[in-house]
Amino acid sequence: MIFFARRLHQQIIEKNSHLCIGLDVSPEALNDESQSIDKVIDHSIKVIDATFDLAVCYKPNFAFFERWGADGFKWLENIVDYINGKNILIADAKRGDIGNTAQQYAESIFDHFGFDAVTLSPYMGSDSIKPFIENPEKGVFILCRTSNSSAAELQDLQTGTGLLYEQVTKLSVELNKNDNVGLVVGATAPSEIKKIRELAPDLPLLIPGIGAQGGDLEKSMQYGNANGDAIINISRGIIFAGDKSSKAIRAATQNYLNQMQRIMNG
Amino acid sequence: MIFFARRLHQQIIEKNSHLCIGLDVSPEALNDESQSIDKVIDHSIKVIDATFDLAVCYKPNFAFFERWGADGFKWLENIVDYINGKNILIADAKRGDIGNTAQQYAESIFDHFGFDAVTLSPYMGSDSIKPFIENPEKGVFILCRTSNSSAAELQDLQTGTGLLYEQVTKLSVELNKNDNVGLVVGATAPSEIKKIRELAPDLPLLIPGIGAQGGDLEKSMQYGNANGDAIINISRGIIFAGDKSSKAIRAATQNYLNQMQRIMNG
């Protein structure tokens, strides 16, 4: 048995990459007025074919699949089969529910679909997280300080013993008995990444917000990898790069990878 | 156009009912070792047939559908078609994501599936809520003070200007420009229901936690309906009542309804 954080670390070393690619394909982004599911499916496969040896993880956001209903879930099932263990698969589902229901979600995401990890919302507390971390081979990334512009409304509230996101960090460290708990921290909040890294030296960080959202790649890499591991998620900056051809997608991926390697070596 | 809160109120008056039924059917709960999706589908239809004239809302929790993958989403689509507007349908999906993604979820839940309302998690702030409240005919219920035992870990943190769940209440009141924002408050926390009702006199409350979770029906009804409307969710106490026959399910439903009517009239 390989604990989740260990498996993630091995892939980072083997591929010399900290890259996670968000598989968030919509007909609007493809300028497809026919709203055809076949076109978004084809594009997702094109992205995987062009990048699988460069990416450590893929992170499909469930919203982009659910909007197609049952057909979208079939597509998601096919993506997991297609990747077939070549990359670590993170279900970006942001789940958070009572224990009984969280157990159903864990079965869905880990057993039915076969994902390696899932993103979770902490608002309902540890009950809503525990069913996902019982199996050390499967991991979670708990929303801590997110990349969106209204993130601070609740997450930066002062709670007496630190800001709310710092409380979430401490709770996550306590829950990390099986070396399989990580945190989501937005690249748009680099000073928060630094603080979170101090509070949680060993937890893997999943850092979205580079590209369309304007996050800071250099600081995210430096602070995020000061201890533990950080993976950087890019979605739109890769999957819709240039003319959206395989060549343009691979070139954008290689470019991000080069930047990351320079930062790590510099 | 009928604003969501108004439509909910009309159904409550017409049916003389505050009942929401949670459609959370698993093979484990049916003691079905064959793990057959046909049996859970049949049971969900049996519950609807036995209760649709007594219930204001149905609330399918997505976890119980997602665990079957594409087949589960097909089942969920069929349930929405089957109810065909006779009841208000709340997607218990607890979504919360960045604006771009929240927009996809809103399209999924309101346009693809055709739900009337959705539950949301507030952790990412107002960005993650706004795409769901643009259409006044569709509603949201934002997690405020939940029914589970670890709810207090974050929700009861003191933030300087009130506990975290009180901040969420205030944010929700601010967002309620279209008369379509409600709150989720657990029946296991009656004194919190009272405080939330004072801070948000007009917002509809969705109150889960009666039955298996041990919530207080009388106080939930009294405090919840002191102003505005409260709907009480029952899941396991109805859908698996007695020998799980239509007769037992309807008897349990009628019994809860009688209790609620006595409380409202007393």
The β-bridge relationship of strands A205-207 and A57-59 is unpaired
Q: Which amino acid is at B3?
A: F
pLDDT-above-70 percentage for chain A: 100
pLDDT at B15 over 90: yes
Question: For chain A, how long is the longest CA-to-CA vector?
Answer: 53
B202: number of Cβ within 10 Å: 14
Q: What integer pLDDT is reported at residue A214 of this predicted model?
A: 86
Is A254 within 8 Å of chain B by CB?
A: no
Query: Which residue type is seen at B178?
Result: N
pLDDT digits (tens, 9 = 90+) for B201-249: 999 999 999 987 889 999 999 999 998 999 999 999 999 999 999 999 9
| pTM of this structure | 0.97
Q: How many CA atoms lie within 13 A of B42 on its CB side?
A: 10
pLDDT band at B190; cut points 50, 70, 90: very high
Q: Shortest CB distance from B127 goes to which of A99, A125, A150?
A: A150
The residue written with tokens 């990444």 in the block is A193
- The answer to whether the CB atoms of A148 and B124 lie below 8 A apart is yes
Interchain CB contact of A158 with B (< 8 Å): yes
pLDDT for B125-177, tens place per residue? 999 999 999 999 999 999 999 999 999 999 999 998 899 999 999 999 999 99
Domains of chain A: 4-265 (3.20.20.70)
Question: CB-based contact (8 Å) between B157 and chain A?
Answer: yes
pLDDT below 50 — which residues of chain A? none
The pLDDT of residue B161:
86
CA distance A249 to A99: 40
* DSSP for chain B, written as a single string: ---HHHHHHHHHHHHT--EEEE----TTTTT-TT--HHHHHHHHHHHHHHHTTT-SEEE-BTHHHHTTTHHHHHHHHHHHHHHTTSSEEEEEEEE---HHHHHHHHIIIIIIS--SEEEE--TT-GGGTGGGSSSTTSEEEEEEE-SSTTTHHHHT-B-SSSBHHHHHHHHHHHH-SSS-EEEEE-TT-HHHHHHHHHH-TTS-EEE---STT---HHHHHHHHTSSS-EEEEESHHHHT-TTS-HHHHHHHHHHHHHHHHHHHH-
**Beta carbons of A108 and B148 less than 8 Å apart:** no
Question: Which of A66, A121, A126 comes nearest B105 by C-beta?
Answer: A66
**Chain B (71-90) residues lying within 8 Å, Cβ to Cβ, of chain A:** 71-74, 76-77
**Cα-atom radius of gyration of chain B, to the nearest Å?**
18
Q: For residue B102, what pLDDT is reported?
A: 96
The CA distance from A200 to A183, in Å, is: 9
pLDDT at A142 (0 to 100) = 98
User: CB-based contacts of A139: which residues, under 8 Å, 6+ apart?
Assistant: A4, A5, A8, A116, A117, A118, A133, A180, A181, A182, A204
Cβ pair A74:B69 closer than 8 A: yes
**Residue A247 known to be catalytic:** no
Percent of chain B exceeding pLDDT 70 equals: 100
Q: How far is the alpha carbon of B14 from chain A, nearest alpha carbon, in Å?
A: 32
Interface contact B104-A143, CB threshold 8 A: no
Residue A134 backbone phi and psi in degrees, to 5: -70, -40
Mutate to test the interface with B, among A101, A174, A175 (most CBs of B within 10 A): A101
Residue from A94, A194, A219, A244 carrying the catalytic annotation? A94
CA A184 to mean position of chain CA atoms: 7
Please name the member of A63, A69, A96 whose beta carbon is closest to the beta carbon of B113.
A69
Q: Quick check: B158 and A160 CB within 8 A?
A: yes
Strand partners, B59: B22
In this complex, do A63 and B102 lie within 8 Å of one another by their Cβ atoms?
Answer: yes
Q: What is the pLDDT of residue B11?
A: 96
Q: Please count the residue pairs, one from chain A and one from chain B, whose beta carbons lie less than 8 angstroms apart.
A: 194
| ipTM of the complex as predicted | 0.96
Number of neighbours of residue B185 by Cβ within 10 angstroms:
33
**Confidence (pLDDT) at A1:** 83
Please tell me which of the candidates A124, A126, A148 has its beta carbon nearest to residue B127.
A148
Q: How far is B237 from chain A (nearest CA, A)?
A: 15
Question: What would the pLDDT profile of A108-148 be if each residue is shown by its tens digit?
Answer: 999 999 999 999 999 999 999 999 999 999 999 999 999 99
Q: Which residue of B has its CA nearest to A124?
A: B151
10 Å Cβ neighbour count for A245?
A: 12
Chain A contact for B66, CB < 8 A?
yes
CA A91 – CA A84 distance, rounded (Å):
15
Contacts of A150 in chain B (CB under 8 A): 124-128
Q: What percent of chain B has pLDDT over 90?
A: 95
The span from the CA of B200 to the CA of A185, in Å, is: 32
Active site residues of B: 94
The conformation of residue A158, written as its DSSP 8-state character, comes to B
Q: Return the SS3 of A164.
A: helix
Q: Which of B66, B72, B148 sits opposite A124 (nearest CB)?
A: B148
Chain B from 172 to 231: CB within 8 A of any A CB? 212-213
Q: Which residues contact B209 (CB under 8 A, 6 or more apart)?
A: B147, B186, B187, B188, B189, B215, B233
Residues of B in contact with A67 (CB under 8 A): 104-105, 107-108, 111-112
Q: Do A151 and B124 touch (CB under 8 A)?
A: yes
Least CB–CB distance from A108: residue in B67, B102, B159: B67
A37, A40, A76, A100, best to mutate vs chain B, most B CBs in 10 Å: A100
Contacts of B159 in chain A (CB under 8 A): 157-159, 164
